[in-house]
Amino acid sequence: MKPNHAPTESRIESGDQDPHAGHDHAEGEHEGHTHGSSRAESISLVASGTLVGVGLIAEWLNLLEKKGVAALAVGGMVAGGWFLLPKAGRALLRFRPDINLLVVIAAVGASVIGEWIEASAVVFLFGVAEWLEGWADRRARRAVEALLEIAPKSATVNRGGNFIEVPVADVKPEEIVAVKSGMGIPLDGEVVRGESAVNQAPITGESVPVDKKSGDTVFAGTINGEGSLEIRVTKSAGDTTLAKIIRLVKEAQEQKAPTQRFVDLFARYYTPIVTLAALLVFLIPPLLMGGDWSQWLYKACVLLIIACPCALVISTPVSIVAGLTALAKRGVLVKGGAHLESIAKLKALAVDKTGTITEGKPKVQGVELIGKSVEKDVLRIAASIDAHSAHPLAVAIVQHAEKLGIAFPRAESYKNQSGRGAEGVVDGHPHFVGNHRFAHELGVCSEEIEQRLATIESRGHSVVVVGHRPHDGCKGEVLGIVAIGDTLRANAADAIRALHEAGVASVMMLSGDNQRTVDFIAKQVGIDDPRGDLLPDDKVGAVKALREKYGVVGMVGDGVNDAPAMATATVGIAMGVAGTDAAIETADIALMQDDLAQIAETIRLGRRTLAIIRFNIAFSLSLKLIFLVLTLLGYASLWLAIMADTGATLLVVANALRLLRTKSEAPVRPPSPARVFAR
């Protein structure tokens, strides 16, 4: 896998506490600021708005003299801007103008020419826009963090033969917890007693409850159905799958997407240029053309407010956070905005066969015997070697031998042949198990065996050739062929069709299985380019070729075995990784359930996110351009400028938050104890 995705940008460059909650990151320099989260600042804004409103009414109705109106305006500026001045001062000392400094200069300029109410309105409305930005950011983040509230804060634990209620944090792995019907499961674990349907929506996004019985895995934050369960805890509270999801989504939200880095870079140079332009607007007409100083100072102030890139700066981070959050609620973990943008631009996808297109639970379908071989002996030799391996085909053979009651030793001198098979010594003789390719390489394939292999492969089955390995001048021989079949996923064909509809030009299937089997499966589900007989290095080469042809490509695998190919792709996608720590940590995108259809949904939401970002940026820049022209022509006022800026911020935030609307059902909260016992 990509060992470590783009490192998380530091959030403490200048004492920052929230990289998205304020306009002061326009420069890319984060100032200490959590506006909108501080109760004191919220109260200050209310006070500021009240004073500005009273002053405005008093001025319109001539209820107060100019000094009285000015006093109200100054009070409004102090109440709404006390947190603004320190940041503006730091920006001035660094000679790095930012939005805070622009607003302060505009407010001071308006005050100098006697426009007190307009000056106070600038400060108040800027504060409102900033509060709105902080609220939008918290709204998007809160949607994921709310999942933690679903997990119970206490658990019923068996201690000394008695079930007692203890805080979840005090429960240790291996302890047994009881979960009543309708209650939330407190910790990850394995069912040891009872049966029930469990709503796993908070973890996997599945809306249909999943039946759980003894030996099955359950996750913290999921909801028990009508049955009663006893669960052996496997992870402490801080290490549950739900806690890991929350941490990873938070880290992802802090990483900047390419579009966001572009906007930050743009704002870094844009703000000083605008400050210089406003200074020239103020100085040149009066000095060179005899213009009125007050008039041109006013226009310069309007220019400063119009030029504030508030909406531009907030357009990307809020959209990215909302997109990541919406996907997390659907059971899709995207490791940062960069990967969300990549999946939105995906042109081609490579998929592993076993466990992706098929169920990944192959079973022995039959044994073809060669010569005078006996089926029991063939299975005994194969199981002896495969007992060393965790490969799905090896597991299928071992399970089949055990099911038939065949006793087998563990082979000695075991050696894995990557992408081919394995070798080992059984009963003092060297044997092998392997695929069609391996049999060819060993030189043990005859015309009869080729025909038998072709017949089995044409039915879509995988083949495992079992025989004596050539050694010490002995040619070796094939003893039998084990036919193994895997079931296609029920929605595989629909998922591939959905990928094409989502704009994926080519779907390639990569497999170490024989080409005939791969072709058979590909034809059934609609794969564009099936590739069989591949070694791990061949898969990497296939993904590289796909990248050269299409640019942005993805690779779907299990997050561990397909790591080289997934690392080669633009985006590595691991499927069905709920509870699998290694896969969750290593993939760029992790699908919490075994559902290939989630990829098409992820692509669509990624593209929707990118479209919203592009619209918001274009809208913000277009509005700035229009009002800059109006300002220079004398048609814009400070009121209009600040209302346009605040309005634009409101619109881009509302547009971004539309991403939080998902079609998935909201996670079901556990009922209250009163409801449970009332049953």
Q: pLDDT tens across 55-83, in order?
A: 888 878 878 777 887 888 788 888 877 77
Q: Around Cβ 83, how many Cβ atoms within 10 Å? A: 20
Q: pLDDT tens across 555-594, in order?
A: 987 655 677 888 888 998 888 765 556 656 667 888 887 7
Q: Is the dihedral of CA 533, 535, 541, 543 positive or negative?
A: positive
Domain residues of the chain, as ranges? 152-239, 363-485
Strands 477-485 and 223-224: unpaired
Kindly report the pTM of this predicted structure: 0.66
Q: pLDDT tens across 118-155, in order?
A: 778 778 877 776 776 677 666 656 655 665 566 788 89
275-289, 381-395, 639-653: the lowest-pLDDT one: 639-653
State phi, psi for 568 to the nearest 5 degrees: -75, -30
176 by Cβ neighbours in 10 Å (0-12 / 13-18 / 19+) ranks as middle
For the segment 655-678, the average pLDDT, to the nearest whole number, is 53
- Beta strand residue intervals within 72-137, DSSP E: none
**pLDDT for 123:** 80
Residue 305 has pLDDT above 80, yes or no: no
Instruction: State the distance between the two ends of the chain, measured CA to CA, in whole angstroms.
Output: 50
Domain at 363-485, CATH from 3.40.1110.10, 2.40.170.20, 3.40.50.300, 1.20.1600.10: 3.40.1110.10
Beta bridge pairs of residue 177: 157, 231
**Closest to 233 measured CA to CA, from 171, 182, 184, 181:** 171
Residue 638 has pLDDT above 90, yes or no: no
Per the document, the length of the chain is 679
For the segment 639-646, the average pLDDT, to the nearest whole number, is 74
Helix boundaries (H) for 486-596: 492-501, 515-525, 536-550, 563-568, 581-586
- With pLDDT > 70 as the criterion, what percentage of the chain qualifies? 82
Does 2.70.150.10 match the CATH number of domain 152-239? yes
Residue with the bigger pLDDT between 511 and 4: it is 511
Residue with the bigger pLDDT between 7 and 98: it is 98
**pLDDT for 397:** 95
**pLDDT for 22:** 38
- 533 labelled catalytic: no
**pLDDT for 182:** 82
> Of the segments 152-166, 243-257, 321-335, 571-585, which one has the largest average pLDDT value?
152-166
Beta bridge pairs of residue 175: none
For the segment 668-675, the average pLDDT, to the nearest whole number, is 39
What are the structure tokens assigned to 96, written together?
């790095």
Question: Which of 24, 352, 533, 562 does the annotation list as catalytic?
Answer: 352
Residue 377 has pLDDT above 90, yes or no: yes
For the segment 309-324, the average pLDDT, to the nearest whole number, is 78
